[in-house]
Chains A and B, each alone.
Chain A
């Protein structure tokens, strides 16, 4: 706090801000006083504290999948501490939505030395991080001028709305505010898919059809009805941390019936810790091989549900194989070695690929084949692999083969379903630009747009790009540098200022991406803003309407994206159209009332803001994926061409025939294991013998919250290494390491632990890229090691597929 105050006071700030920090200093002193161990003189000071303290309902809005309410306590306009949802008696089902460690430390993110204070323009070379303070007028004029120039010189499709998930929860600000403006001025180049689920969401519609379930299966509450739970790389303890969301629901469901739980993951994750019945470590990228061997056992031991397959599926065997398919193109032939590759997918075959002993595979297959019902689920780390589409489809084969679909206690093999409360969003209008690029291909669209087609690079809604990306609109994202693959290559592409001519960044902090901005705008944080949010996309069965009321005044010269976009609209003469004469808070109130017309049970906005989130449990009827289809497939056909579950997809067969794929990339009509580049079987292992996988760490949300020192202390960044791999390299726990491949190098300490399998190393993604003078990253930033090469089908991000070598630095 002191450091923050010092920097606040030493900078040239407006009088108003200055005064606010004057009182902040007083407030801080009181806080410190209260924190003294002998909080004594207790009665007196605490009643005094009570009378002056203000409590405001707001929320943590980052992209972890949840959305936790926070009660921000302030005194004289300065945050003292935060509490989360502590209302009621916390009965499961109507439980409190408890924030995790990150939400709990939001004070440190808001009062952070990295906070941006005023608009800035770049001076010096792009990415150098040298900026000069400018006025808001100058900033908005520059942006408007550059937008007009880009539109006039190239066209609206040269403006790219970059991925950025920093404020997932906004409904009327942030991305909505930005897209509304861009649509008003003629549109922008959109992307489809996302860094989270690009592969699985692209692949599963071929199996199950569009809509739900195309990434959302049954709710985790269904686990309580299952006899067996099998989780492939699903790690809710670390990636669904909210005490109102999936991990809490998961734990309750498992514990309620002591459901036998098998977890397949190269890491011994925090979801395990003895809560699992069995951990099966697997080599990264080989889940599809494991599935095939399980299928081999199921078929050979007559444990497949033939009746289900015949009635509900296409392409399991001869009987339901589409006419267009080649002979023996069906799944069964492939497994039994009668398909084109002629390989029988025996447990022994899979053992050498996956690292799992054959007898373990057989045992697992028998368990899956005999447990009824079985709940099978996957996380999305698996699909963030070089052929993630195949792996994610393959895992779904297990519930399909065993008929564990559409019944109580089953899941489709996908991520769990969730209940999102339908809160209304700011209308964003229509984007006239119809051609979209895959989210992962924007760097290509800067330097080789002319080569990109639907068949080579997965363009949708068009076959070619007329223009390269000339203007990047990056709001609340660290994608442009930190979170996209191959930072060194990205930097190289962006450093040519004649290619991408302008980068606009809205941020709270001086992030690696912010350093690459041409104009850098200081956004207010979500706790300085008005909003009504819904629960996130991973909060289990508990839906919620969550009020955000500004807990503190906007700091420094920060402005919301809505205000900023209104200002830009004004420079286009479109302010009236943009705001429709409403302030942002008025929009929030109006949309809230619209929602209440449809959901009259929701309290008034005033009550909501005073009493905190409104909670509502998901109806029972929506908790089981494909329930309707299972009960009446004719009345409720799937969105696939056949209306059935397509084990053999004719659409994929067409793609496989028509698309131009680079050497080594494989698309097949049935889900099957493919040995990919940078797998443990790649000859490159001679040079880079370790498979490095990423994971999403409890210590931050991607790169957000990285700059909170208390979190860096609580969850230190380090490379997980098995003792055997460490010993072979003379590495001891805590040693500083260098981790490298041909794309880059990072420095990071070792965490030597038996919790990772030999031959595999793991590093949490999201640490801030911090190059030293020699260009080598000192921050443990994962993406100096990842590649721009995309996955075959969705053209997505294979960020967990990396071969590296590690040595003591």
Chain B
């Protein structure tokens, strides 16, 4: 394995604040000129619950829902780089961001199969894999990724992951996200009051056609 990055950058996602507005997704698409079908940031709607009708026709329910905004988690143990046959998908040493080298990628889509977060997004026009690159060019200029800066609810943060963890803890196992031990994502989440643990089967991703 390559040596650990000098400073691992990562995301904080507050599912208690997030309203699922998708501004983060769109600002990313605008900045990076992404087409329909290529979503570096995706907002998953997770929900469930049952309805019961009483004898008088009234209803009881225990409905719940919340959104999780996920891009690439620039994992400490990325499944994508491990899978990649060309090394195009690589983890940068300076900041731990996982980036595709579009000039090396053969477009085999194996990283897409391996990543449990749906992060790699195949560009059908350029025929190579693309993915959230942590806006490293902005970050290098001392600016925030555009998705972070765009969130109307201030539900997203970005920075050295150890600082984010010191501030917010280490939660990263919220449904519909997979077990974080699979790839050790550089991600910290705040749970919505409704949040279910990874592996939960009481709800489902409701907006399957939007992600």
Partner-B contacts on A (CB < 8 A): 1, 31-32, 34-40, 42, 46, 81-84, 86, 90, 98-102, 104-105, 107-108, 237-238, 241-244, 247-248, 251, 268, 270-275, 279, 281, 348, 351-352, 354-358, 698, 709-711, 713-716, 718, 722-724, 733-734, 749, 751, 753-755, 757-758
Contact = CB atoms under 8 A, between A and B. Distances in A.
Contact of A38 (B43, B100, B208): B100
A241 B153 CA distance: 9
Contacts of A754: 47-51, 61, 63
Interface in B13-58: 16-23, 25-27, 29-34, 36-37, 43, 47-51, 53-54, 56-58
Given A38-B103, A710-B29, A273 B206 contact: no
Contacts of A46: 137, 141
Given A273-B66, A357-B56, 11 more contacts: A36-B102, A38-B102, A99-B152, A101-B22, A237-B20, A268-B65, A273-B192, A351-B57, A357-B58, A698-B20, A754-B48
Nearest to A699: B22
B152 A39 contact: no
A758 B59 contact: yes
A273 B150 contact: no
A357 B206 contact: no
Nearest to A749: B209
Given A104-B27, A716-B209, A753 B47 contact: yes
Most buried by B among A86, A248, A713: A713
A98 B63 contact: no
B85 to A, nearest CB: 17
A75 to B, nearest CB: 13
Contacts of B57: 351-352, 355
A758 B51 contact: yes
Contact of B51 (A248, A348, A724): A724
B63 A268 contact: yes
B22 A715 contact: yes
A100 B59 contact: no
24 contacts: A32-B33, A35-B34, A37-B99, A37-B100, A37-B128, A37-B131, A83-B149, A84-B150, A98-B152, A101-B23, A104-B150, A241-B23, A241-B152, A273-B65, A274-B16, A351-B56, A351-B57, A357-B59, A698-B22, A714-B25, A753-B47, A754-B47, A755-B63, A757-B59
B65 A101 contact: no
Contacts of A268: 47, 63, 65
B93 to A, nearest CB: 15
A380 to B, nearest CB: 19
A713 B210 contact: yes
Nearest to A36: B102
B64 interface: yes
Contact of B47 (A32, A34, A84, A755): A755
A355 B58 contact: yes
B137 A42 contact: yes
Contacts of A713: 36-37, 210
Contacts of B153: 243, 247-248, 251
A98 B57 CA distance: 44
B58 A274 contact: no
Interface string B77-109: 000000000000000000000011111000000
Contacts of B22: 101, 698, 714-715
Contacts of A34: 33
A722 B30 contact: no
Contact of B101 (A31, A37, A718): A37
Given A37-B131, A273-B65, A104 B210 contact: no
Interface residues of B, number: 69
Contacts of B50: 754
Contacts of B127: none
B195 interface: yes
B135 to A, nearest CB: 9
Contacts of A108: 30
B7 interface: no
B151 A39 contact: no
B175 to A, nearest CB: 13
Contacts of A99: 23, 150, 152
B70 interface: no
A709 B36 contact: yes
Interface of B: 16-23, 25-27, 29-34, 36-37, 43, 47-51, 53-54, 56-61, 63-67, 99-103, 126, 128-131, 133, 136-137, 140-141, 146, 149-154, 192-195, 206-210
A758 B53 contact: yes
A352 B53 CA distance: 12
A39 B137 contact: yes
Contacts of B140: 42
A31 B34 CA distance: 11
A280 to B, nearest CB: 10
B21 A241 contact: yes
A566 to B, nearest CB: 35
Given A46-B137, A716-B210, A98 B61 contact: no
A102 B34 CA distance: 15
B101 A38 contact: yes
Contact of A237 (B16, B19, B43): B19
Contacts of A237: 19-21
B200 to A, nearest CB: 14
Q: Top 6 A-B pairs ranked by shortest CB distance?
A: A243-B152, A274-B193, A274-B194, A35-B33, A237-B19, A101-B26
Given A98-B152, A274-B192, A755 B65 contact: yes
A785 to B, nearest CB: 23
B30 A104 contact: yes
A391 B43 CA distance: 35
Contacts of B136: 39, 42
Contacts of B21: 100-101, 237, 241, 270, 698
Nearest to B144: A86
Contacts of A31: 33
B16 A37 contact: no
A251 B17 contact: yes
Contacts of B154: 90, 243, 248
Contacts of B47: 268, 753-755
A709 to B, nearest CB: 5
A238 B136 CA distance: 31
A237 B65 CA distance: 14
Most buried by A among B99, B101, B152: B152
A267 to B, nearest CB: 10
A251 B192 CA distance: 14
Given A31-B33, A37-B99, A274-B193, A247 B27 contact: no
Contacts of A37: 99-102, 128-131, 133
B64 A274 contact: yes
Given A84-B150, A101-B26, A753-B47, A247 B194 contact: no
Contacts of A39: 133, 136-137
A753 B206 contact: yes
Given A46-B137, A281-B59, A352-B56, A104 B51 contact: no
A100 B153 CA distance: 10
A357 B102 CA distance: 59
A98 B150 contact: yes
Contacts of B206: 751, 753, 755
Contacts of A82: 30
Contacts of A724: 51
A104 B27 CA distance: 6
A83 B102 contact: no
A754 B34 CA distance: 32
